[in-house]
Structure 1
């Protein structure tokens, strides 16, 4: 099964690569903000409120989508692990079931770690945004 973004949860490496691509705006927030605020000679010609609002909307939409995808993969992986655990309880001698259960439990931990990473990325991006755009745009939290 795939996350709502279309990336399969079972392919952890592909999921992480896509997540990294989708975090580019947040990872490059300082660059984005520096390019948003041009040199003083152009300052009177730029609508900073609109630009800050657009950047925040882009950041927020990306964050919400990533959280949704990670949470969906956590749920899917937890369900798989639960089913495998039930199968293992019925057939404790089956090595393949135990091996698959450990794999799914490891994947579940990776997804949970990514959820924590996502929160850190968001806090960092939000702080940088606030420092530069606070006088032009205050988002409705």
Structure 2
């Protein structure tokens, strides 16, 4: 493992100091209970739960749309797969054709 340089250590230490400072100024302690409204600052849990509830509520139109999108994606993947198979068959056919018939007949290759 490579030893970090002095500037990298200083940068990491600065980030660490900022985190500690932010925690010290936002988390209510006994020394300054009246200066910070804890319910206003410590509402991240409520915000996350609210976001999850809003995201989890399913609209039937969105579900139908989602099913249609998935069907179309499946069709697209199937067609891409078929195209790849066709390209491989075409290339192999041309190789075999050219190997067997190169002396007698050379048609123009259509791509």
Which category describes the TM-score, using the shorter chain as reference length?
0.3 to 0.5
Question: Which structure ranks higher in relative contact order (CA pairs < 8 Å, sequence separation ≥ 6)?
Answer: 1
* TM-score (structure 2 length as normaliser): 0.42
Pair member with larger Rg: 2
